[in-house]
Amino acid sequence: MEKNIQSELERILEKNRQTNEKIQSEKTSRENKELLFLNEFYKVSKEIIRPAMEEIGKAVSTNGIEYRITEKADLSARDGRHEPAEITVSFFTKDRHPSPGNLSPKFSVTCIKRNFEVSYYESSWSTGGPLGPGKLENITVELIQHKILEVLKK
């Protein structure tokens, strides 16, 4: 191989190596930031969201309405599917337990780590849907309880 071709090839390969290193570094940095955000979601979930849900749940349980709080961890499947971390409070009566064909009031906070935000979801006795995104740092006991009350009104 001619020296100028060899030199050009080495320059191209070095540029590709540097580009790949930069991409990998950026990917690692993003993954680290997402992990930090996810851990912060777990902390907020434990310290603010769950206690807010429990307080409302205990208050309604004195009136014959039961509640259940469920938490899902952030999971990535081998096939590429991703299930985000989530905490949900569901309300039901003894004769109307939550099931796929039987909607019951519920409120969820989901961690959308790729966007560094949370998403709120509601379901009432008859309808359900997203309430939109929010910032993790804006979550307070009062905010969560207000959103749950809106679900229970419907």
Q: Find the helix or strand (DSSP H, E) in which 50 lies.
A: helix 50-61
| Domain ranges, ordered by start, for the chain | 3-153
- Mean pLDDT score across all residues of the chain: 87
Let me know if 8 is exposed, middle or buried by CB neighbors in 10 A (0-12, 13-18, 19+). exposed
pLDDT confidence tier of residue 15, bands split at 50, 70 and 90: confident
pLDDT tens profile 55-114: 999 999 888 889 999 999 999 877 878 899 999 999 987 665 555 555 678 999 999 999
Q: What percent of the chain has pLDDT over 90?
A: 51
Q: Give the chain's end-to-end CA distance (angstroms, integer).
A: 77
Residue pair 147/122 in contact by the 8 Å Cβ criterion: yes
- What number of CA atoms fall less than 13 Å from residue 98's CA on the CB side? 18
**pLDDT reported for residue 110:** 97
- Is 70:61 a contact under the CB 8 Å cutoff? no
Place of tokens 């997402």: 34
* Distance (Å, whole) CA 69 – CA 134: 20
The pLDDT tens digits for 37-51 are 999 999 999 999 999
Strand partners, 70: 88
CA separation (Å) from 153 to 14, 101, 123? 63, 21, 11
